Structure 1
Amino acid sequence: MPRFTTKEPMTGQTEFPMTPCSTSCGVGLKFVNSCHVDATGALSACSVSPRSCLLPTSCGSVTVLAHRGKWVELECADESLQTLGIENFGFSWWFKPGVISPHEKEFPEKLEGETPMLRFKRAFLENAGTYKCDVYNRTTVVKTSVFVLKVKNLTLKCDENAKPESLASTFGKRLVFELKKHLKTIVTIFTVLLCIVAVICLYLMW
């Protein structure tokens, strides 16, 4: 007896990549074209939407230079994470004194807070060292960034070839410029003071 088989046509959704992953490490962003496939294989109702893409977690190290007493910040979330939604990820910061390899796994000190950015309102020499930021999705680390923070004293350089008379002349010109700029205000204040003194004298004489 012959056997008859019926093959159902496949329908549903299919996706086609439109762009490569936006990063070379960690969590990136790519765009795909999502279309509906009917029984004949024709595509319809296509729409472009973003998708996350996972690459090797280690993103190497970046050296950050800061002047002592000045503002500095370490940013762990790039544009891809911001587009995918910062609220969908967790962040943890670790610290170790000195400069170490980006592949170092031993970071003894975990810092407080789980924010994508580490801020120092004033950087001091004791803040120098290596900082590691782990980005995780639920419990899985998907990106690791290492920052080497170097803090230096702020020094003012003077032109060694400048002559004393040249420096004095520059200072004098600057002083004259400032006096001219505020001359009108000074004259006004002086005039008001004279008027007040005159009124007081007339009052006493009266």
Structure 2
Amino acid sequence: LAATFSPMVTIPPELRSAVVKITVNSTPCSVTCGLGLKVEELCEITPAGERRNCSLQRSLCLTTWICGLQHVSVPAGRPLHLSCFVENNLDFGNQTYGYTWRWAPGLITTNDLLFEPLQNPLPALSLAPATEANAGTYRCDVQVRETFRLIKRIYFGLKVIPGNLVDLNFKKSLSWKQKLFGNLVVWSARNGSQEGKEHFWENEGSLKALLGMGSGLLGGVVVSLVLCC
């Protein structure tokens, strides 16, 4: 085999004393996805490897443009506001951002083949009010208009809870025994003070519960006496 050798590279004398400025340190990106900011430390490096004239500067950063799926639940009839806004930073030019919304009706998915376009060029999507027909996954894409570069994509998986499906009123869901027990706990926590006793007996639910228990017990005794005699 014939060996080949590259010719020697001669560095001009003026480059041997050249000083370059490079990034020697950097903070993490301010966001985990989408367009963010970071602070970099730039220093001049001498041919001897020394740092000098260091300075800090901010710069744009993009760790990843995919922001994943966020799950959102809202009761039917309530207003809903979804946003994928990206702030314009005038320190880095006059670039502007375009927003494109799509949705997959009735599905919680990130399969892009199942999405259909929505006519909404704004960074926010409002549903006022949200209905069961609005359930599904909403996708927002953010692009730099001048270069068409995609800088952010986020999915919102929306579940709309029917108003008659569940009653979130805790007190209404309690049985009379649970209400009685709760009132007894409150009364006991007040160390049997006169104020606590008055509060307990003034509670209409507690009074009705005790009267019901007393009536039932008295009725049972009467029936037992009749049967015995």
Q: Is TM more than 0.5 here?
A: yes
Q: Post-superposition shift, 1:34?
A: 3.5
User: What is aligned with 1:44?
Assistant: 53
Contact 2:43 2:51 in 1 (8 A): no
Of 106-115 and 126-135, more deviation after overlay is shown by 106-115
User: What is aligned with 1:166?
Assistant: 205
User: What is aligned with 1:187?
Assistant: none
User: What is aligned with 1:91?
Assistant: 99
Matches within 5 A, 1:135-174: 135-137=142-144, 138-154=147-163, 155-157=167-169, 158-162=172-176, 165-166=204-205
Instruction: Report how many aligned residue pairs link the two structures.
Output: 162
TM-score, scaled relative to structure 2: 0.57
Q: Post-superposition shift, 1:28?
A: 3.2
Q: Secondary structure at 1:7's aligned position in 2?
A: helix
Q: Secondary structure at 1:145's aligned position in 2?
A: strand
Q: Distance in 2 between matches of 1:4 and 1:167?
A: 96
Matches within 5 A, 1:20-169: 20-35=28-43, 42-44=51-53, 46=55, 48-77=56-85, 81-82=86-87, 84=89, 88-102=96-110, 104-137=111-144, 138-154=147-163, 155-157=167-169, 158-162=172-176, 165-166=204-205
Cα distance, 1:33–1:5 mapped onto 2, change above 3 Å: closer
Q: Secondary structure at 1:106's aligned position in 2?
A: helix
Q: Post-superposition shift, 1:50?
A: 2.3
Q: Post-superposition shift, 1:168?
A: 10
Q: Distance in 1 between matches of 2:137 and 2:24?
A: 41
- The structure that has the greater radius of gyration is 2
Q: Secondary structure at 1:65's aligned position in 2?
A: strand
Q: Distance in 2 between matches of 1:117 and 1:168?
A: 53
Q: Distance in 1 between matches of 2:109 and 2:128?
A: 27
Q: Distance in 2 between matches of 1:22 and 1:139?
A: 23
Q: Distance in 2 between matches of 1:105 and 1:127?
A: 18
Contact 2:100 2:121 in 1 (8 A): yes
Q: Distance in 1 between matches of 2:54 and 2:75?
A: 55
Contact 1:52 1:84 in 2 (8 A): no
Q: Which amino acid aligns with 1:166?
A: G
Q: Distance in 2 between matches of 1:20 and 1:45?
A: 19
Q: Post-superposition shift, 1:123?
A: 0.9
Identity score, percent: 27
Contact 1:30 1:53 in 2 (8 A): yes
Q: Post-superposition shift, 1:156?
A: 4.8
Q: Distance in 1 between matches of 2:159 and 2:206?
A: 33
Q: Which of 2, 6, 14 is the equivalent residue of 2:13? A: 6
Q: Post-superposition shift, 1:45?
A: 6.1
When the two chains are superposed, the root-mean-square deviation of aligned CA atoms in Å is 3.4
> CA offsets, 1:114-162, max 9 Å, x none?
2222122211111111100111123122221111111112345313324
Contact 1:25 1:56 in 2 (8 A): yes
